[in-house]
Homo-oligomer: A and B are copies of this chain.
Amino acid sequence: MTHGVNNPVTIVGLNARGAALARALAVHTRVTVWDGAGHRSEAPHIEGVSRAGSAAEAFTASPLAVLCGDDYDHVHRVLETAEPHVSSVDVVNLTSGTGDQAEQVAAWLGARGVDYLDGALMAHPEHVGDPDTVLVLSGSRPVFDRHAAVLARLGSPTYLGSDPGAAALYDVAMLNFAWSTLLGFLETAALLGTAGVSATSVSPLLTRWLSGTVAEVITGYASQVDDRRYPGDQDWLELDAPLMDHLVEAARARGIDTALPELIRSLTAKGIEAGHGRASFASLVEVLRV
Partner of A177, one of B124, B204, B206: B206
Tell whether A267 is near chain B: CB-to-CB under 8 Å: yes
Nearest B residue to A99, CB-CB: B250
Q: Report yes or no: A181 in contact with B178, Cβ–Cβ below 8 A.
A: no
Q: List 15 A-B contacts (CB under 8 A).
A: A99-B253, A134-B205, A169-B192, A172-B191, A172-B247, A173-B188, A174-B209, A178-B214, A180-B184, A180-B185, A186-B281, A193-B225, A200-B223, A203-B222, A204-B219
Partner of A211, one of B99, B176, B211: B211
Nearest B residue to A217, CB-CB: B182
Tell whether A287 is near chain B: CB-to-CB under 8 Å: yes
Nearest B residue to A178, CB-CB: B214
For the complex with contacts A99-B195, A186-B284, A210-B210, 17 further pairs of A-B residues with Cβ separation under 8 Å are A97-B246, A98-B250, A172-B246, A176-B264, A177-B184, A180-B184, A180-B185, A180-B188, A182-B217, A183-B263, A183-B284, A200-B223, A206-B218, A207-B215, A210-B218, A256-B289, A263-B263
Tell whether A116 is near chain B: CB-to-CB under 8 Å: no
Question: Please, which residues of chain B bring their CB within 8 A of the CB of A32?
Answer: none
Partner of A235, one of B124, B223, B255: B124
Smallest Cβ distance from A93 to chain B, in angstroms? 14
Question: Please, which residues of chain B bring their CB within 8 A of the CB of A254?
Answer: 169
Contact residues of A between 236 and 264, Cβ < 8 Å to B: 240, 242-244, 246-247, 249-250, 253-257, 259-261, 263-264
Partner of A221, one of B182, B191, B211: B182
Interface residues on A, range: 35 or more
Tell whether A189 is near chain B: CB-to-CB under 8 Å: yes
Given contacts A225-B199, A255-B289, A290-B256, contact A180 B177 (CB under 8 A): no
